[in-house]
Amino acid sequence: MTSMTASNSISLLSTKEVIRIRTAHPESTAQALRTLSESQQVQANASYIEVQGVSSEQVMSFLVTHGLTPQEVSINHPDLESIFLELTQKVS
């Protein structure tokens, strides 16, 4: 069985969070966020963008640095069951 340190567990949690951003210009904001090197996934629809693979702090810093102002930001953290399944799948 694989042992995880606390910092590894926290790192896993932060990469699994989904940052949802509502903006007046979702396509151009999504295009800019795709240049954020650590992001694993950036999806946009007509009213919001979802970013996964980076922390919310990195996303907000990126937006501010690039002069992009979100109207709303929310963070969806993984639930305990999802974390458990992720951890046990890596062991198998």
In a domain, 69, yes or no: yes
In a domain, 1, yes or no: no
In a domain, 30, yes or no: yes
User: What pLDDT is attached to residue 22?
Assistant: 95
Question: What confidence tens digit (pLDDT) does each residue in 9-37 have?
Answer: 555 555 578 999 999 889 899 999 999 88
CA distances from 21 to 11, 80, 92 (A): 21, 24, 35
pTM across the whole model: 0.68
Q: Is 82 left (phi over 0), alpha (psi -120 to 50) or beta?
A: alpha
Number of domains in the chain: 1
In a domain, 3, yes or no: no
Domain with residue 60: its CATH number is 3.30.70.980
Domain that holds residue 54: 12-91
Question: What confidence tens digit (pLDDT) does each residue in 67-88 have?
Answer: 998 999 999 887 788 777 777 8
The average pLDDT across 34-55 equals 87
